[in-house]
C-alpha cells in the first residue's frame, strides 16, 4: 500500500508519519497532492484520514485544490471506500475548491466521471485518463488554478 499526502502550500513540516511526504513551498502552489497506489486497506486509510485532519487544521479554512493520483490504485473494498468518502467530506468541509483525479484507463475514468455527474460532485471535480492524456498534470493544474475544464480541451492536444 502506498498513500502519500503532500502539502503544497506552506512551509515546514506539518506532521510526520510514514505515509506523508512533504514538498517545499516553492515547488507547487495548488494545495495538496494525494497519491494512492497498490492495495489499500481501511486501517491504512484511517491513518491517512488522521494525517489529513491535522494538515487541514493548519490551513484555517483557506481554499485549496487537490490532485488525487490514483493511476496505480487497485480496487478498494467497501470499508476502504467508506473511509475515502469520509476523506472527501473532510477535504470539502476544510476548503476544497476543486480537485482533479488522475486515473489510468479510459473505462475507469468514464465510470468515475459518470459517478461524479450522478452524485453532484462533478461541478468541482474532474477525472483525467493519464493513458489518453500525456499532459495530464498540466491539465489538472489548469483546472485547479484557472478552472480550465480538462473535459473541454479539444483534440488533438487532448482526446477523450
Residue 69, pLDDT > 80, answer yes
Q: Are 150 and 137 in contact (CB under 8 A)?
A: no
CATH code given to domain 2-152 = 3.30.750.24
Dist CA 19 CA 125 (whole Å)? 24
Q: What is the pLDDT of residues 5-22, one digit of tens each?
A: 555 433 222 322 323 333
The pTM for the full model equals 0.77
Residue 27, class by beta-carbon neighbours within 10 Å (0-12 exposed, 13-18 middle, 19+ buried)? exposed
| Ranges of each domain in the chain | 2-152
Give the sign of the dihedral formed by CA 120, CA 20, CA 28, CA 138. Answer: negative
**Per-residue model confidence (pLDDT) at position 65:** 93
Q: What is the pLDDT of residues 32-61, one digit of tens each?
A: 999 988 888 999 999 999 999 999 998 877
Choose from 20-34, 77-91, 124-138, 142-156 the range with maximum mean pLDDT.
124-138
Q: Which residue has the higher pLDDT, 78 or 20?
A: 78
Beta bridge partners of 147: none
7 three-state secondary structure: strand
CB environment 131-157: b (16+ within 10 A), e (fewer): eebeebbebbbbbbeeeeebeebeeee
**Per-residue model confidence (pLDDT) at position 112:** 79
Q: Are 45 and 3 in contact (CB under 8 A)?
A: yes
Amino acid at each position: 500500500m502506498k498513500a502519500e499526502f503532500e502539502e503544497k502550500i506552506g512551509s515546514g513540516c506539518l506532521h510526520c508519519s510514514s505515509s506523508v511526504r512533504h514538498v517545499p513551498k516553492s515547488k507547487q502552489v495548488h494545495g495538496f497532492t494525494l497519491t494512492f497506489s497498490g492495495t489499500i486497506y481501511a486501517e491504512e486509510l484511517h491513518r491517512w484520514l488522521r494525517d489529513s485532519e491535522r494538515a487541514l487544521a493548519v490551513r484555517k479554512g483557506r481554499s485549496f485544490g487537490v490532485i488525487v493520483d490514483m493511476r496505480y490504485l487497485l480496487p478498494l473494498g467497501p470499508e476502504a471506500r467508506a473511509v475515502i468518502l469520509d476523506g472527501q467530506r473532510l477535504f470539502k468541509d476544510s476548503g476544497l475548491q476543486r480537485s482533479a483525479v488522475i486515473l489510468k484507463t479510459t473505462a475507469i475514468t468514464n465510470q468515475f466521471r459518470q459517478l461524479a455527474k450522478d452524485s453532484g460532485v462533478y461541478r468541482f471535480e474532474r477525472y483525467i485518463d493519464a493513458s489518453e492524456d500525456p499532459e495530464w498534470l498540466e491539465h489538472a493544474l489548469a483546472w485547479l488554478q484557472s478552472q480550465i475544464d480538462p473535459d473541454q480541451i479539444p483534440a488533438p492536444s487532448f482526446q477523450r
